[in-house]
Structure 1
Amino acid sequence: MSLSFKSLVSWAVALIGVVLALQAIYVAISGGWDITYGRSWILCGAVLIALLGNPLAERAKHSTGAMSRLPAWLLWGIDLILIAVFIYGTMKFIDIQILIEETIFEYESIDIWAAFAAVIVLLEATRRLFGLPIVIIASLGILYCLYGQYLPGFLNHSGFSLNRSMQTIWYSFQGVYGLPMGVVLQVVLIFVVFGVILESTGASDALIRASVALTGKTRGGPAHSAVFASAIFGSMSGSVTANVVGTGSFTIPMIKRRGFSAPMAGGIEAAASTGGQIVPPVMGAAAFLMADLTGLSYTTICIAALIPALFYYGSLFAAITIQAGADGIQPLPESERPPLNSKDLLACLMFIIPIGIIVFVLVMGRSPALAGFWAIVAAVILGTFNKKNRENPSIVWIALVKAGRSCAWIIVAVGCIGVIIGVLNLTGLGISFASVVAEFSEFSLMAALLTTALAALVLGMGMPTLPAYLIIILVLGPVMQRMGAELLAAHMFVFYFGVLSAITPPVAIGAFAAAPIANAHPFTTAVYAVRLALVGFIIPFIFIYEPSLLLVGTFDLMSFVRVAVCLAFAIWLINTALIGYERQELAMPERVLRGLAGAGLLIQIPSVQIVFLVIGLSLITFGTLRSRRKLQS
């Protein structure tokens, strides 16, 4: 009986997941559902997946607390009650939206308590998927609505009853069902489905083989192939953990076999997988969300993202090359390099053609959602050329189930963010906080940037990038613009730190996903990942002060060349200083000088950069001549 019940639940979760994935495809073609019915029932389906896919009875098996001593039937009963409560709250939302359109409506106690209970269930679903941090923030937000009148300073407001709070958070389109939910349902989900289908049809395997073959001659070898594969795969999937597991299960053991340490191998994969979301053209669907929020074209977003992404991955390549030299690792022998045959080249088309279609459709002026739809069509058709897919037609069902689960994660997270946005809209806290930040910064853009970066890193920990980006840009984006940052540069700044939160301790979900594969300690893996991705934390500050790096908006060719040259040398100097190697081991005084020269090149004052460029070139030349003399002797 127990087994059959579990099977029934599994089938229910799978079916709801498939429906979520299919509706995302339908929305891409048709333009979307009715705003009331669409947003409410889709969120309801996502919450059902979160609760049934992570039931209390299963969690109790891995717990040592009081919950582990409760009978399974009781825990399943609690889950079914939570589901019934959320469904009832969803139906109440729909009924009241219809009444509001038809007549003057007065809320009753049952309406408010139904909404409050539904919000609690939404927070519980979020907790099961993402842990406590974001749930605590949302819960504090609700308490702030109810008791903020007792707080001092800018936190003080006039006070709002539970009735008024739930009207905004649950029963309006300014909270849970607000604009972020609409953007995700109409634009983002189709690319989540696309990424999963592309992976399921075998495109990721072809990508990894091509990456290994192309990077076999480098010192880093498999490490460089991991960077290359993760950059492309991460751009499509938008999920750091999926990227780490999808490519890391293959690349991390190879990296270790080449001589890299376990935490280094995990750190390379975590840093490379995290950066996939900043790589155009897809950027894990962020390009389309950013275009919608800024009012700029998709093409503009992609052009702006290109150069910073190249520098990020160029820095990873440089760091791996230097580390390989320090560890005495040589290029992979030609006999061990997997040759690319015609079959592999054809397999590579499985990811090249769909990405090309996305770019083509968008350049033709069609909607991002439609571009995602045609990319899925191309991926499915190309997948039929894979013999394994033809022999196993169920791969389509499996892919849709997996895509639906991924969609549910994003939807639940955005629903929880909607609670926070509802609080901000009702209390005006966002405006008050932004004003305080502006005052605290004392009209200093750098202080505002540091505050924003810290907030993005903290809020992004344990959360998908898109929700973290949404909440930070809505609160602190206007402050950055008032302080002099350009619109697109401000959005890119917040997005970068939302992305990098995935490898920032103590949470570092990217490193925690890579560590078990590498058999390394998660925190040590995160430290290596941050060191490798250090330039990624620096680049956003540079394009705020020098927007020419983004190639759009305020662009000056001479400024662009200066910034690019200085950043390239800074990357090399900083990495050699951190690792302590360039052709041969570096003494501590030289490492310090290289670090200072690299840091100096990041100061966006031309005269200062010239001085440090001369110093940096002198250090590199001195090191080259010294290693040549050593070889000759």
Structure 2
Amino acid sequence: MSNATDGDAAPVGGIFRVVHFAARVLGITVAIVGLYVAGLGILDETLMRVGTFGIAGVLLLLTSMALRPSGGSLRHLGLLVDVVLLAAFLAAIWRYMEIGRALQIGLYMFQQTDILLGTLGLVVLLELTRRAMGLPLLIICLLGLAYAVFGDVLPGILRHSGFSFQQVLQVTWYSFDGVFGGPLSVVVSLILVFIVFGVLLEGIGAGAVLLKFAFALTGHTRGGPAHAAIAASGAFGTMSGSVAGNVVGTGVITIPMIRDRGFSGRYAGGIEAAASSGGQFMPPVMGAVAFIMADVTGIPYLTICLAALVPALFYYLSLFVSVHLEAVRRDIKPIPKSERPILTAHDYLMSLCFVVPLGVVVALMVMGRSPALAGFYAVLTALALGLLFNPDLRRHPMRIVTALANAGAAAAQIIIAVGAIGILIGVMNMTGLGLRFAGVILSVAGDSLFLALIMMMLGSLVLGMGMPTVPAYLIIVLVMGPAIEQMGVPTVIAHLFVVYFGVLSAITPPVAIAAFVAAPIAKANPIMISLDASKVALIGFVIPFVMVYNPSLVLVTPEFSWLGFVWIALRLMLAIWMFSTAFTGYAAGRIGLPSRGARLVLGLAVLVPWLWVEIASLALIALIVSRDAAPLILAQSATAQDRKLNKAEQG
């Protein structure tokens, strides 16, 4: 009996090894497609969009098959489902490729076979969406399809003229207005190369060196590893298209070290989650959302980077201040000099693998080259420098192949998510739901811009839950964008508004995907982590409103003035101090609960766009800040006096 069992098990194991190998090959293929399209030329549109989408879908299905846990009949049932899904998906993609040319010129009569295979394609896409992105996006897609088919029976403003299922299928699956629409084209032709870039940096060893630099540069501060986590996550997060991926990539190193320095586990996880989130709106890459925003809005990429820069810097300034105060409150000392990492000549050389490619991106963009080409040369530069400066990479060149496979796997999830959002885009185009939703917001908010922004914030936090930055941005701006632009808000600010809240949904309870990812590393409750992350990142929830009411903050709007910029920058810095001291309960000393509440109120009040409130709040805050600073000034004065006395005595 045992021989028979062993004989049966061997082929199964061999099959799974083949499936795993095939998934790696497809991952490398996706990465190479991204590099080819970005640097060497554009493929036929049908081949580029549908073909790459097909490879991504097959890759995810094979990955699911390879990762099936052992479990007897349940495992075999799951494998059977995967095989059926794979066959249906391949048939649907093959049919589209076969009739794609006729679809583009609009001279094709649909057959029942097309309807069947298109339906199967949508079903498999929805299942892949559930596996890759979870239930929230799946539910939204199902609601969108239901609205397209049955919206003609809804009352009031939600009602549309009605569409048959075949009409919905033709738009969502068999056209470039749905699943295979513009956003998918942007992902394949532009964003994919930056996903490869981010993963390749980690593969060649630049990520580890980046962390070492962060620890070396912040070791003298009392925040120590927490400040290092902020710096590293901000730098690496801008390259990553996923907050959760960034938390895992840097958090496995930073979170335990933050705990070891005396911070609580929940605070360590919260800092990492908040810092990783901020990388998604930190130029120059902004988790690749900068490029798709440029495509959606028509605003030049460099303009978007410039607009996003100052708000992002204020966000990270707030995190640094909060960590410093928390360290002082806990009496955490700087890392002893003997324990700080020592930067070697090799580390400085390896840092060029990160710095030079980013410089290449910016330089080529300034020269007027396309972002895709800039990303392509950045990848080549990073690879060349990695091989030049990292002897371990030369000894183990397969690390490059592994990095490409990992990049393809990460890209496949983004491609499937954007494809699912294409369903919503098709439905929006058919029914005009985006404009209807904008009408609902405007009718509820009336003439109140603030109320409309609150509704936009809540909607963005809900729609962005559990999704990577690019698909979160796309779905939010699709639904919310028309409403905020109709209120007279400049386009770049409107889009940054939804990006901020789409990103911060990753740390907002109850979903808080970044907190749940950080929880097992921090060994703390994920809800507590999300609460701490939301507290230290409070300024991030305020900055989008500040941008709307103070356009000078983004530097690029016609309303910009240096006086307005200086005025809002001063008030933002004071608000950061008020928020940080209120939540940590510490300034020059411990602060009581009433004083903490007053500081929180004043921090918000100084940003209220009424001049008399600004001035009154500013005066009260100046009084509080001077009182906070007095003990520090006296202590420094006493220290200086002691030094003079010691010198005099020695003399």
Secondary structure at the residue paired with 1:581? coil
Tell me if the contact between 1:444 and 1:483 (Cα under 8 Å) persists in the aligned partners: no
Aligned pair partner of 1:517 in 514, 521, 537: 521
Q: Percent identity?
A: 47
Give the corresponding residue for 2:25: 15
Secondary structure at the residue paired with 2:238? helix
Give the corresponding residue for 2:496: 492
Tell me, yes or no, if structure 1 residue 119 matches structure 2 residue 136.
no
- 1:502: Cα distance to partner? 1.2
Secondary structure at the residue paired with 2:505? helix
Aligned pair partner of 2:358 in 343, 348, 355: 355
TM-score for the superposition, normalised by structure 2: 0.93
Cα distance per residue 1:249-306 (max 9 Å; x no partner):
1111111111000010111111111111111111111111111222121111111111
Pairing 1:595-610 to 2, within 5 Å after superposition? 595-610=600-615
Partners in 1 of 2:97 and 2:78 — Cα distance?
Answer: 29
Give the corresponding residue for 1:139: 142
Compared CA separation, residues 381 and 414, structure 1 to 2 (3 A): same
Partners in 1 of 2:83 and 2:273 — Cα distance?
Answer: 37
Tell me, yes or no, if structure 1 residue 240 matches structure 2 residue 243.
yes
Q: Match for 1:216: what amino acid? A: G
Q: Match for 1:24: what amino acid? A: G
Secondary structure at the residue paired with 1:127? helix
Structure (1 or 2) with the larger CA radius of gyration:
2
Give the corresponding residue for 2:62: 52
Pairing 1:216-227 to 2, within 5 Å after superposition? 216-227=219-230
- 1:624: Cα distance to partner? 3.3
Tell me if the contact between 1:325 and 1:583 (Cα under 8 Å) persists in the aligned partners: no
Aligned pair partner of 1:24 in 30, 34, 41: 34
Give the corresponding residue for 1:468: 472
Compared CA separation, residues 365 and 111, structure 1 to 2 (3 A): same
Pairing 1:296-307 to 2, within 5 Å after superposition? 296-307=299-310
- 1:533: Cα distance to partner? 0.8
Tell me, yes or no, if structure 1 residue 2 matches structure 2 residue 12.
yes
Give the corresponding residue for 1:65: none
Give the corresponding residue for 1:375: 378
Aligned pair partner of 1:269 in 254, 268, 272: 272
Tell me, yes or no, if structure 1 residue 592 matches structure 2 residue 587.
no
Pairing 1:144-543 to 2, within 5 Å after superposition? 144-384=147-387, 385-543=389-547
- 1:238: Cα distance to partner? 2.2
Tell me if the contact between 1:141 and 1:420 (Cα under 8 Å) persists in the aligned partners: yes
Tell me if the contact between 1:452 and 1:472 (Cα under 8 Å) persists in the aligned partners: no
More divergent stretch after superposition (380-389 vs 560-569) = 380-389
Secondary structure at the residue paired with 1:582? coil
Cα distance per residue 1:327-371 (max 9 Å; x no partner):
111111212112222222222111111111110111111000000
- 1:605: Cα distance to partner? 2.3
Q: Match for 1:523: what amino acid? A: I
Tell me if the contact between 1:275 and 1:312 (Cα under 8 Å) persists in the aligned partners: yes
Cα distance per residue 1:579-615 (max 9 Å; x no partner):
1101210122221221221111111223321211110
Tell me if the contact between 1:430 and 1:475 (Cα under 8 Å) persists in the aligned partners: yes
Q: Match for 1:493: what amino acid? A: F
Q: Match for 1:50: what amino acid? A: L
Partners in 2 of 1:626 and 1:352 — Cα distance?
Answer: 41
Q: Match for 1:3: what amino acid? A: G
- 1:616: Cα distance to partner? 0.5
Residues matched between the structures, number: 626
Compared CA separation, residues 602 and 91, structure 1 to 2 (3 A): same
Give the corresponding residue for 2:549: 545
Partners in 2 of 1:143 and 1:292 — Cα distance?
Answer: 29
Pairing 1:99-110 to 2, within 5 Å after superposition? 99-101=102-104, 104-110=107-113
Give the corresponding residue for 1:64: none
Tell me, yes or no, if structure 1 residue 582 matches structure 2 residue 567.
no
Q: Match for 1:142: what amino acid? A: L
Compared CA separation, residues 362 and 476, structure 1 to 2 (3 A): same
Q: Mark the runs of 5 or more structure 1 residues left unpaired by the alignment.
A: 62-67
More divergent stretch after superposition (447-456 vs 224-233) = 447-456
Compared CA separation, residues 615 and 378, structure 1 to 2 (3 A): same
- 1:197: Cα distance to partner? 0.3
Partners in 1 of 2:599 and 2:289 — Cα distance?
Answer: 36
Q: Match for 2:176: what amino acid? A: F
Secondary structure at the residue paired with 2:239? helix
